[in-house]
Structure 1
Amino acid sequence: EGGRTALHHAAVRGEPEMLKFLINAGTKSYNEDDEEDIESGGGEKLQPKMLLTMVDEQGDTALHKAVLSYKLEAVRFLVDADPDFEYSSNISGDTPLIIAIREAQLNENKYDTGKIRKLLFMMQPNQIKVRTGENEWTLLHHAAYNGDVSIIADIIKFCPSCLELVDNEGKNFLHIAAKWEKVQVVKHVLGARDIPVSVLNDQDNDGNTPLHIAAITGNETLTRCFLFDPRVVKTTVNKDGQPVLHAIKFSYDKRKAGVFDIVDTVDQSDLKDQRDFDLVVGALIATVSFTAGITVPGGYISDGPNQGMAVLSKKGSFVAFIISNNMALIFSLYAVFSHFCARRLSEEAEIIYQLNVATFCTLAAIYCMMVAFIMGSFAVLANSSWLGIVVSIISCFFFIFACRPMWRIAMQRKRCTAASQHKRST
């Protein structure tokens, strides 16, 4: 009935003596048949424990049935009968171990379900490696997906070699935990110091490590778990050419993460875009400053002994305008000149130096140009002092708004300097 053998029925009833009798009888029968075949010179030698492998219409072996019926002694006997046998999954995709785990959870380890689960983990760890479903997930993948830390802890204890198993996308269980944001699983695994480093840094078919996937999800807590673990490599690049650190979109302690010497670097395409943009800004400031120096505010004296002189030349605000505008022109031209030199240098250190000089000069030119605008406006609005003051106050908001980004730039340079010194000292 239903394809079940006598061994299936004995397993359901949990009768170890009957199980022992059936297996021994089957073994004796097979041996006798083998001897007759050998004497007659024909036949194929049969496996002495074939009864253990026989399945019913649901794909269940006798061990499946014993586990489903909570028969601890029957389970123990069947496992001892052939500890090395590799049980497969039934039609539902369940191995005896998966059934034991599910029943233990449903029954809160009552009715010997907890003992059966532990016994199978100890005696049949190979069941963890059985792949099921379209993704070819193992028990470990399913545990990571469900966030079941207890199962993962047992697998780490009884089958550490199973940790490196991957599905058909090349993902191990940490990839799955990161993708589905199972923070507790990741914390538990990273807290186990004997986890192979290869598991933490394994790349899937797309070249993504668990850290890469965690960063893509945007989960800061999850990403920081990987980021602050010294065993996790932070220099990997996936097949799309994206460095793992470029996928992180939030601020973090770069020194604690151990990436202060690599995180602020950019690839060549980003560096080229930055140089082109800075060059355009420098050239624009130089053009504006040069134009303002020729067409001074207030115009020129058209007649008399001072013909051709600036009308506002004797005012202090006009003098300040001329000086600041001249400095803006000098800084911007030197920034353009530094970019010109950087494009023709081949040594990386020299190129970076020239680009840093160009950046500093561009920032200085922007500030000087703003000062020149304020002083020029104040000079031409001298007859309406209140309006000149209002314009000057409004213009000063630029310096207030610029404080934060300048502070960030200064702190970043400080970290880079500290990183360079640390790298040289080590």
Structure 2
Amino acid sequence: MYPEVYEAAKSGEFHSLMTIILENGEDLSHQTTPKGNNVLHVAAQFGRANFIREFLQDLPRSSLLWKCNCKGDTPLHVATQLGSYEMLLRIPNSDEDTLLHSVIRRHCKGVVELLIEEDPHLCDIINAADESPLYLAIHQRLWDIIEPILCASSWPSSHKGPKGLTALHAAVTLSLSSCKKILEKRPEMIREKDDIGWTPLHYVAHANKVDAVQLLLQHDTSIAYDLDKEGDSALHIAALQGHINVINQLITSCHDAWDIINFKRQTALHAAVIGGKVNVVKHILRITNLEDLINKKDTNGNMALHLAMHLREYDSALILAKDKRVDCFATTKDHLTALDIFSAQKDEDSAGNFICHRWILSEKSEGLCQYNHSSRVLRALKDSHGFPTVQDRVVEEKRRLEKQFSEGQSAASITMGRDSSLKSLIELELLVASFIATATFAAAFAIPGGYSNDGPNQGMATLAGRAAFKTFVITNTIALVFVW
């Protein structure tokens, strides 16, 4: 070994060694002393942990860590004999990574196994990012070293990850076989929650991992009832995301899971409506004996139907309104029926909806199908309500009269604001009618194809014998009747 190489390893000057290698033009790091010691043996002998850590960042050179000297000792054996192996292996860098963290990041499987064999306690040390070696190995997808780390680690914190996550949180959506290993060694991880209160089951429900859901429930069915910080169960998450297969698996394992409500007292049906997942709404309504779920109210008195109206989820609203089990007369805490909510929305943009409905009827415009759907919702609600109720009309009239009396206003002035939108609609209707009338009369006097000027059919329309002309005459006559 060159003297300058030996001195760099002895003093822990890694950058000096790199400078020597660059100037020489060849990799001198593989040189050995007469005793067979390489640069890592020398650094270990003098307790140069940082030198070894930086040296091992280069994957090809990392093999020197298990090279033996003439006595058959690796650099780790040398450190152990000198009583400095703990310092060598456990001293963290600026990110509080130990040597084990570093070699896991470099995917050095052989070095990882060697380090664990020499110092199992390394598996229990967490870095500044709250990453345990086990969590980091799963995050790096080093499936082969998960079991050795699991067997070596002893502290409860040895499976932790950032933001309250655990190794099982990380593995559950990535590797089913790794999940099985973790559950065998650390079954308590199945109930642990992250910073937002999600268990591993919440994550697989969100990711639509049916096999993982089944695996977790086989170990502990009670996890289906665990709620996150918003009070949502895995069933709520699956409904919100529209994952019917996950829902079925949860219900198969826990038949009463339909009864789970969150902190807002919302069911899975509420969650499906909020998520706009019509497929889940349909799926739930196909199930018998769920009347209580279907008509369940949240803390604001909203059934799923009310929420569908509030959120303008008209696809879901139409399906719910047509189901005979749904109580369309039910009111919220603000004493509003679903129809009241719908009517209020229609008042807000009635002019726009009016125009859209006219286009739908005349042009069947695909881009305006949402408005067509809302009109179907209105019809469904009218059928169930006897719209509007007499009581609503009486109360509204009383309020109008009380306001008129207290403010000394005339009936005309008190209703002017309420009728302004109607007036706009009437004016718009007249304008449209004027256009139709103009086009209709013009078509009646300007016959397509003109008239015949000679022959036996003189004065008759030249296209009179054609089917298309007859269709024109009939439709134009109908238009004249409606205009009149």
Fold similarity call, TM over 0.5:
no
TM range (shorter): 0.3 to 0.5
- Structure with the larger RCO, 1 or 2 (CA within 8 Å, 6+ apart): 1
TM-score (norm 1): 0.45
TM-score (norm 2): 0.40
